[in-house]
Chain A
Amino acid sequence: MVRITIDGLDFEVPKGTTVLEAARRNGFEIPTLCYHEALEPIGSCRLCLVELGGGEKGEVVSSCTHPVEKDGLVVYTESPAVLQARKMNLSLLLARCPGVKCLQDLAYSWWVDSTALPVLGDYEKECILCGRCVRVCREAIGKEAISFTFRGVDRQVLPPFKQQPDDCIGCTACAYVCPTGAVKVTEEEGRRFIAPWKSDLPLYFCDSCEAPVTTIENSASLEEKIQETGLPPGSMRPSFKTGEREPEGTGSDPEINADEEMLCPRCRRRRVTESIARLPREKQDRSWIKARQGYK
């Protein structure tokens, strides 16, 4: 544990925690846009600025990338220099994407005049280039379907050659982490579209309830990941193998049934539970339950 002083109050935090985490855990409010708990910080939005005091000559740094390594770090989260730069950066982002809700909300709570700077270019623009989508794709999903392209004011997030990316599995993690809603996902006629990347992938439907589940690629990718964890094959996957369906009731092994049908997680859970419940307790296959415990 190391000691840190935030706005004049002393705290103890684990060594290596970032200043942002240390401050947030102790109730300080620091706005962020490009920061996400699950991702490596890149310090690009410059809203989480704090001022370092105590010997470090009033330097303004991004708190999301600044680790607390030594005792005695002194930070100010709302010094005049911090507020000036933070508000101006927010104005700059608003001048880029005036219509984005999360920026408007931040401007409201930080008393920023949202018309201080003129909008240069497209009023409809929604991407603030925080790069969360790029990082989640690479770091969490393990794919590299999209990346930053061009530089300076022309910087954009795009798939390679602006074509439908081969790497995209349609998991929609990019849309999930996007703070502004710039990544739009639609599902139509059995296919999933992710608008900015031109992704167009087929969905699979549950054989039982016939609801769309997810893309075939995503389900394959999940299966791969589960196998990496060392669980028995098929223990978690919503199967998508095609094959003759055995008539209901003849197959006694729930695993085989599951393998041959494409079920959504909900139907699959129900089917497994039902098949187990039908058997007397001593004949029940309890490996499922063990497997789940092991996964946790």
Chain B
Amino acid sequence: MSRLNSLKELEARRREIIAADKEKTAAVAVCCGTGCSASGARDVAAEFERLITEKGLAVRVRTRITGCHGFCEQGPLVVVEEAGSRPEHSTSLNDSNARPAGGESGPGGLLYCRVKPEDAEEILETSVLNDGVVEHLLYKDPVTGEKFRSENDVPFYAHQSRMLMGYNGRIDPGRIEDYLTAGGYGGLAQVLGGSMPPEDVIKEIEISGLRGRGGGGYPTGSKWDLCRRVEGEIRYVVCNADEGDPGCFQDRSILEGNPHLVLEGMIIAAYAVGAYEGYIYVRAEYPLALKQVATALEQAYEWGLLGDNILGSDLSFRVRISRGGGAFVCGEETALLSSIEGLTGEPNPRPRPPYPTSIGLWGFPTLINNVKTLAAVPDIIKKGGAWHASTGTDTSKGTMIFSLTGRVNNTGLVEVPMGMSLRELIFDVGGGIPGGRKFKAVQTGGPAGGCLPAEMLDLPLDYERLSEAGSIMGSGGMIVMDESTCMVDVARYFLSFTVDESCGKCTPCREGGRQMLALLDKFVHGTALEGDLNMLFELAATMQSSSLCALGKLAPNPVLTTLRYFEDEYRSHFEQWRCPAGVCRPLISYTIDAEACTACGRCLEACLAGALTGVEDEVPELDDQLCTKCGACRDVCRFSAILVG
């Protein structure tokens, strides 16, 4: 493809692509995000492609390998787009209504869940060539048993407003053409069209109320403005894609599913602040994201959307990929910059201000924004800041993507408007807790966030309310826990993650974290004393007040919030030597309920430690000395006869 030298050529190219696609009346979109790929989506996609070629349908039907749709629980996902539900192509570059189908109001296609390669033929025959529906592959509500035909009717999607994630299902991340037909690079065309000087772009971002989605929540508009105001020729734009929280994969999914969206956001940011160079800092553990970003960069250079004189304008911008080694602390701004410079990724002790916006990469003003922040930019430019500001609460605007994981029915990526309550998110979008268990707590904001109890379920999700409750928005982790979770154990797990990821530079984070972990170990083993609770508070206070960077300052959050909301649980660990949730092995013992036991003998086979002995038709006996409390017997028992206490 040749280089585009003006906005007119971009528009012409868009029409060309739409015209070329006209023949194709149906498309089969196979989610090949990391989650679905792990459950075999690549084979499904290959099977579809093979069948379509074999049957000579290639003219009419397209197989589209897309990024993550978000509903990872039900993967591999296949969406059949019927002719009527095709994404509406934008008619012109400045068309503010150009939006991806499957977004807030798009019609959506037929959604098939847990598709296997052998289902491909049936789907093709029934739904693509005819108007039928393959009933057994439709999504079935786990509670009501109701089946849903269309993507947008599924409760998981129905409660979301997928401003950023909506594009993913409609775009093959390897094809810039797809992004263009979905209205992509329209925001860039608008700012380069001559009607928007950089000041207006920043103004628009300020109006939109967009705040840093990496966790800090700093107003994006002011950050851009600060960077722009610094004198000097050289400036950098850095995209922070060093997502490292356990269980978080939203940045990764956007980069994997729609890299051009982030790229467009970066180019607009470069235009606004006056930068000529940019970096995307992706961790090397994200091979697919790296590949998609590299492909996207290649295409963008080829098409003249990056490089010198973008689309014939005065704007020149280059983007390079910087691969991170996978250290959690490198998500911190100054550590990230050190890492790009080739130094050890350790936070800089320099007091702030000056922020990286005035002294950053190699000492030059640097704008660092998270993937989600940059991804929100193109639509804000296209549809206006007011459009973005119309979603959300007074202080937090737009949508937030959460990685919903843990003990919840619909795990996956959810994009909801700011201000939605935790209850709606967990029970309406997430479909509640599986197995009829009771909700106990939810951990927001990743390992440095806090655990919020059931009383806080009506808390609206915005930056301020979450920090008041002792937690953080963070990068959008959301781990749901039910009554079978021990909060001391949870706090210990999260703390062990931050202790492991601490760079070790400053004393409170390195030594304090280790001491706190040792104290929590005492609780888990039932050897804690009253004074240990105070010591936990003191250590936490020291880490919060005197750590060098946010990693150490936030690391005690899980411990402090669990102490605040679940102090009784800590107390019962050392006052009564029991773990109420039945998790901490040194404090629990197994007994057999002779009434319920039918002496089926399944537990005898399951026990590898030889702790269960018994003969046929008799209740087995349990030897406490030999029992390792692995729970294998409990898992196989069909009569709930094995009790933990």
Residues of A within 8 A of B (CB): 41-47, 49, 60-62, 65-67, 81, 84-86, 88-89, 92-93, 95-96, 116-118, 120, 128-129, 147-148, 150-155
CA distance A42 to B351 in the complex (A): 11
| B587, CB-defined interface residue at 8 Å | no
The answer to whether A129 touches B508, judged by C-beta atoms less than 8 angstroms apart, is no
The B508-528 residues at the A interface (CB cut-off 8 A) are 508, 510-515, 518
CA distance A138 to B541 in the complex (A): 35
CB distance from B8 to the nearest CB of A (A): 51
Q: Which residues of B contact A152 (CB under 8 A)?
A: 499-504, 510, 513
What are 28 of the A-B contact pairs (CB < 8 Å)? A42-B349, A43-B349, A43-B506, A43-B548, A44-B505, A46-B506, A65-B349, A65-B350, A84-B538, A85-B541, A85-B545, A88-B512, A89-B507, A92-B508, A92-B512, A93-B507, A93-B511, A116-B535, A118-B515, A148-B344, A148-B504, A151-B502, A151-B504, A152-B499, A152-B500, A153-B504, A153-B510, A155-B505
Q: 20 new A-B pairs (CB below 8 Å) besides A151-B504, A155-B504?
A: A49-B546, A60-B545, A62-B546, A65-B350, A65-B351, A81-B545, A88-B538, A89-B512, A92-B508, A92-B515, A95-B511, A117-B515, A117-B535, A118-B515, A148-B504, A151-B502, A151-B503, A152-B500, A152-B503, A155-B505
The answer to whether A85 touches B508, judged by C-beta atoms less than 8 angstroms apart, is yes
| B327, CB-defined interface residue at 8 Å | yes
- Contact among A44, A85, A150, A155 for B542, CB-based, below 8 A: A85
CA distance A120 to B547 in the complex (A): 20
- Contact among B505, B515, B538 for A95, CB-based, below 8 A: B515
Residues of B within 8 A of A (CB): 327, 329, 344, 349-351, 499-508, 510-515, 518, 535, 538-539, 541-542, 545-548
Q: Which residues of A contact B535 (CB under 8 A)?
A: 116-117
Q: Which residues of A contact B511 (CB under 8 A)?
A: 89, 92-93, 95-96, 153
Q: Which residues of B contact A49 (CB under 8 A)?
A: 545-546
Given the known inter-chain contacts A62-B349, A85-B545, A95-B515, please indicate yes or no for A154 contacting B507, CB distance below 8 A. Answer: no
Q: Return the chain A residue nearest B501 by Cβ.
A: A152
The answer to whether A129 touches B504, judged by C-beta atoms less than 8 angstroms apart, is yes
Q: Return the chain B residue nearest A148 by Cβ.
A: B344
Q: Which residues of B contact A153 (CB under 8 A)?
A: 499, 502, 504, 510-511, 513-514
Among all A-B residue pairs, the 3 with the closest Cβ atoms: A155-B504, A43-B349, A92-B511
CA distance A198 to B409 in the complex (A): 57
CB distance from B640 to the nearest CB of A (A): 41
Q: Which residues of B contact A147 (CB under 8 A)?
A: 344
Q: Return the chain A residue nearest B504 by Cβ.
A: A155
The answer to whether A44 touches B507, judged by C-beta atoms less than 8 angstroms apart, is yes
CA distance A220 to B502 in the complex (A): 40
CA distance A153 to B516 in the complex (A): 13
Of A45, A66, A129, the most chain B CB neighbours within 10 A belong to A129
CB distance from B497 to the nearest CB of A (A): 11
CA distance A41 to B506 in the complex (A): 13
CB distance from A224 to the nearest CB of B (A): 26
The answer to whether A150 touches B546, judged by C-beta atoms less than 8 angstroms apart, is no
The answer to whether B504 touches A46, judged by C-beta atoms less than 8 angstroms apart, is no
Q: Which residues of B contact A92 (CB under 8 A)?
A: 507-508, 511-512, 515, 542
Q: Which residues of A contact B548 (CB under 8 A)?
A: 43-44, 46, 62
The answer to whether B545 touches A120, judged by C-beta atoms less than 8 angstroms apart, is no
CA distance A117 to B514 in the complex (A): 11
Given the known inter-chain contacts A92-B507, A92-B508, please indicate yes or no for A118 contacting B518, CB distance below 8 A. Answer: yes
The answer to whether B507 touches A46, judged by C-beta atoms less than 8 angstroms apart, is yes
Q: Which residues of A contact B539 (CB under 8 A)?
A: 88
Q: Which residues of A contact B515 (CB under 8 A)?
A: 92, 95, 117-118, 120
Q: Which residues of B contact A151 (CB under 8 A)?
A: 327, 329, 501-504
